[in-house]
Structure 1
Amino acid sequence: MARDLKLALQTGYWGSGPPHGVEESIAEAERLGFHSIWTAESYGSDVLTPLAWWGSRTERVQLGTAIMQMSARRPAAAAMAAITMDHLSGGRFILGLGVSGPQVVEGWYGEPFAKPLARTREYVSILREIWARRGPVTFEGDHYTLGLPGPSGLGKPLKSTVHPLREDIPIYLAAEGPKNVALAAELCDGWLALFYSPHAEDLYLPNLQEGWAREGARRSREDFEVAATVPVIVHDDVEQAADLLRPMYALYFGGMGAKTKNFHANVPIRMGYEAVVDEVQSLYLEGKKTEAAAAIPTALVEQMALIGPADKIRHDLEAWRDSVVTTLMISGDAATIRRAAEVVLDA
């Protein structure tokens, strides 16, 4: 059933410095009635400081992390940050989490990447236990222990000194693999979908349905949020619009992670583009980035992005309205998001 879509602004993680014009984009997003703004982190800028700084200049939009790297913070530190941000924003905070990949987790954070699903389940359980504030928190898992019997013998279970503004702070999980998508549907309030296509929904819907059907699942399809990162480029020439996005897709599908373990590349592979991904990876890892970008087919771009003249985008939006997606996360300067909003919200 076709329905309205919410818009969100994804500011992303920084390149060599703060993104130019981001304050104007955030102000425009608030003026246009966007649902939320989001920040990110990898191994440069952190996710919380910009969100607090920029979010302090807003009044209505929700403020989300997409994503807060789980390996960067122990669960208690993430819980404390969420309590703090939720208070400072008047209950507008959304905690978006993700496990990232082994190259970043082990290479940058110095943490083991093993068993990400089990780690996520423990992490989320600890967050909710801290926010519930029923008493001193103890937890004994395979990956995290609170009330650790350390060598000093002085550690003891504690309860947050700060009373959460909300004990049900929303948690969205970034997920691409089938099992992780199902976990998001079971444990969380929303799913952050980085590479999503409404034309290949059968790749995701069974996993979401599996998660919603599990005993003790937190949400159902009716009240579960799916925030999908969707480039929107209003342009008279479809090919030129696709050219603007090909380098980004080449980076993620060809240059992120290792050739043998790239979670981003698995998405187009499952969509039937295995030969394309093999070519893109080979070219990218040989240093031929321009050729790798040129190898990204326009058809693949059109399945994951909204590009072309306004009337074409309005037509293509119908597939997104019929999908499980509830929010389109877009990026760009103030003029870009204004034009996108005109097309999406008035469609």
Structure 2
Amino acid sequence: MTREFDIDVIASTPEHDTPGSVADLAVHAEGLGFDRFSMGEATGWNLATILAVVADRTDEIGLSDDVFSPYGRSPAMLAQTALTLHDISDGRYRLGLGPSSPAITERWHGVAFERPLRRLRETIEIIRAVYENGNPEYHGEVFDIDGLNYDRSVPENPPPIDAATLGPKATELAGRFADGWVPQLFTVDALEERLEDLRRGAELGSRDPGELRTSLIVRAFADEDREHARETVRSTIAFLVGAYGPYYGDSVAEQGYPEMVAEIREAWSERDTAAMAEALTDEALDDLAAAGTPEEVRERLREYGEVDGLDAVRVGFVNGMTIEEKRATMEAVAEL
């Protein structure tokens, strides 16, 4: 790939019958020259197990998760998981964390969704304590841990920690405490504005903003049947905006689409997914995703890649795409 930014790819695990099938896709991504391979975790497979299989089957491609919840695993377990995946992958793993959402936190993990940003900050600090001292001892507002010793040696360069956030304060937190930022559903203009929050956070933490890895998730579908690609992506973006917790919708509304978001949410209140998709305008689709012919998708990703401070575009897929369509999109993107 001849470009100045990395290209990552996110696999969707539900359509895979076995962990080996996910690993096959990772091997394909590695062969195409993608920089990192990632997967999301919600209520399906335990992602740490799948990443271990992928690590064993690949040699060079970086590995990430999008993202582990600080409510679903204790900070010490997250540190253990990261260090184990670091060892299995020969240092190719980056730990992804995010505040999560009320639905997954309360209806899956059975934990009250309280103080998400404070919990995320303390989780990162505890993981760093394990990295630095081999001990999670910590006395904070959310966690109070006396600590035990990690019974293996901690590597000199432990896994970096990426934070997936949206709002200005949350992104400032990412800049101050994490090693990378993983945003999604941003227009180019809004991304540039939010990067200022990331830089401010880095400065507050006496850190170099240039050392943070920013990788923007962009939902993509490249197909010569342009309208098929666009309508497939439109449905998923509308669902993320209207139904997937309050945060994506709030963020998109603040980026200049308040009336559209309100209309999508109204349609979701009636569970009318067709009306949700219809309410998502062409302008918003073009602003928030990369959907259309292969060249249109590549051009859109190039526009993001030119943003100062963006290190990688993380290509994600959408519901309704076949595995063959995902592979074809990966191959189209690999020509960048």
**After TM superposition, is the score higher than 0.5?**
yes
Provide the secondary structure at the position in 2 that maps to 1:252.
Answer: helix
Asked whether the equivalents of residues 139 and 145 of structure 2 are also in contact (C-alpha less than 8 Å), the reply is yes
Q: What does 1:2-17 align with in structure 2 at a 5 Å threshold?
A: 4-12=4-12, 14=14
Q: Could you tell me which residue of structure 2 aligns to residue 319 of structure 1?
A: 303
Asked whether the equivalents of residues 29 and 337 of structure 1 are also in contact (C-alpha less than 8 Å), the reply is no
Deviation at 1:103, TM superposition (A): 2.2
Q: Could you tell me which residue of structure 2 aligns to residue 268 of structure 1?
A: 252
Residues 192, 53 of structure 1: CA spacing in aligned structure 2 closer, same or farther, 3 A cutoff?
same
Q: Could you tell me which residue of structure 2 aligns to residue 295 of structure 1?
A: 279
Asked whether the equivalents of residues 225 and 293 of structure 2 are also in contact (C-alpha less than 8 Å), the reply is yes
Deviation at 1:339, TM superposition (A): 4.5
Residues 196, 169 of structure 1: CA spacing in aligned structure 2 closer, same or farther, 3 A cutoff?
same
Q: Could you tell me which residue of structure 2 aligns to residue 328 of structure 1?
A: 313
Report Cα offsets for 1:95-154 as digits up to 9, x if no partner: 0001211222122212222222221121111101111136x542111111111xxxxxxx
Q: What does 1:226-241 align with in structure 2 at a 5 Å threshold?
A: 226-236=214-224, 238-241=226-229
Q: Could you tell me which residue of structure 1 aligns to residue 50 of structure 2?
A: 50
Q: Could you tell me which residue of structure 1 aligns to residue 213 of structure 2?
A: 225
- Paired residues in the alignment total 330
Q: Could you tell me which residue of structure 2 aligns to residue 73 of structure 1?
A: 73
Report Cα offsets for 1:283-340 as digits up to 9, x if no partner: 1220211111121112111112222233433443442122132222224577545544
> Which deviates more, 270-279 or 318-327?
318-327
Q: Could you tell me which residue of structure 1 aligns to residue 197 of structure 2?
A: 207
Q: What does 1:174-193 align with in structure 2 at a 5 Å threshold?
A: 174-193=164-183
Report Cα offsets for 1:13-37 as digits up to 9, x if no partner: 5379669953432111011121111
Residues 8, 316 of structure 1: CA spacing in aligned structure 2 closer, same or farther, 3 A cutoff?
closer
Q: What is the rounded CA distance, in whole Å, between the counterparts of 2:124 and 2:305 in structure 1?
A: 30
RMSD across aligned C-alpha pairs, in angstroms?
Answer: 2.5
Provide the secondary structure at the position in 1 that maps to 2:275.
Answer: helix
Q: What is the identity, as a one-letter code, of the residue corresponding to 2:113?
A: F
Asked whether the equivalents of residues 36 and 61 of structure 1 are also in contact (C-alpha less than 8 Å), the reply is yes
Asked whether the equivalents of residues 62 and 93 of structure 1 are also in contact (C-alpha less than 8 Å), the reply is yes
Q: What is the rounded CA distance, in whole Å, between the counterparts of 1:291 and 1:18 in structure 2?
A: 35
Q: Which runs of 5+ in 1 are unaligned?
A: 148-156
Asked whether the equivalents of residues 199 and 319 of structure 1 are also in contact (C-alpha less than 8 Å), the reply is no
Asked whether the equivalents of residues 199 and 303 of structure 1 are also in contact (C-alpha less than 8 Å), the reply is no
Q: What is the identity, as a one-letter code, of the residue corresponding to 1:59?
A: D
Q: What is the identity, as a one-letter code, of the residue corresponding to 1:296?
A: L
Asked whether the equivalents of residues 173 and 184 of structure 1 are also in contact (C-alpha less than 8 Å), the reply is yes
1:255 aligned onto 2:255: no
Q: Could you tell me which residue of structure 2 aligns to residue 280 of structure 1?
A: 264
Q: What is the rounded CA distance, in whole Å, between the counterparts of 1:331 and 1:316 in structure 2?
A: 14
Q: Could you tell me which residue of structure 1 aligns to residue 25 of structure 2?
A: 25
Q: Could you tell me which residue of structure 2 aligns to residue 150 of structure 1?
A: none
- With normalisation by structure 2, the TM-score equals 0.89
Q: Could you tell me which residue of structure 2 aligns to residue 306 of structure 1?
A: 290
Provide the secondary structure at the position in 1 that maps to 2:163.
Answer: strand
Q: Which runs of 5+ in 2 are unaligned?
A: none
Q: What does 1:41-190 align with in structure 2 at a 5 Å threshold?
A: 41-133=41-133, 136-147=135-146, 157-190=147-180
Q: What is the rounded CA distance, in whole Å, between the counterparts of 1:315 and 1:40 in structure 2?
A: 26
Residues 70, 331 of structure 1: CA spacing in aligned structure 2 closer, same or farther, 3 A cutoff?
same
Q: What is the rounded CA distance, in whole Å, between the counterparts of 1:342 and 1:29 in structure 2?
A: 9
Q: What is the rounded CA distance, in whole Å, between the counterparts of 1:3 and 1:16 in structure 2?
A: 31
Say which one has the larger Rg: 1
Asked whether the equivalents of residues 8 and 315 of structure 2 are also in contact (C-alpha less than 8 Å), the reply is yes
